[in-house]
């Protein structure tokens, strides 16, 4: 995933010199992207558990498809 690689690159750069304003902006945007992505993954996993507990297989399949698409996008 490009965002993770860029965050790692920015982290290494920040250990050797202060980040430029542009790099700081990239850091904040990447951080927010990863926070949102992890929140959405957690939410879908919780929904999947709810679907399983209520025996709603159709809903669970829909959720699993969304999870697979998100994982493929990595």
Token readout for 28 is 């904040």
**What are the pLDDT digits (tens) for 32-50?**
999 999 999 999 999 999 9
Measured N-to-C along each axis, helices 2-16 and 21-53 cross at an angle, to the nearest 10 degrees, of 140
Predicted TM-score (pTM) of the model is 0.77
Cα–Cα distance measured from residue 62 to residue 32, given in angstroms and rounded to the nearest whole number:
26
The answer, yes or no, to whether residue 1 has pLDDT greater than 70, is no
Contacts of 19 (CB under 8 A, 6+ apart): 10, 13, 27
Unique residue bearing structure tokens 């996993």: 45
Confidence tier at 72 by pLDDT (50, 70, 90): confident
């Amino acid at each position: 995933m490009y965002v993770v690689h860029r965050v790692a690159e920015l982290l290494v750069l920040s250990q050797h010199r202060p980040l430029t304003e542009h790099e700081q902006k990239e850091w904040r945007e990447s951080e927010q992207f990863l926070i949102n992505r992890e929140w959405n993954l957690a939410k879908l996993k919780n929904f999947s558990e709810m679907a399983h507990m209520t025996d709603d297989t159709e809903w669970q399949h829909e959720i699993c498809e969304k999870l697979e698409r998100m994982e493929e996008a990595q």
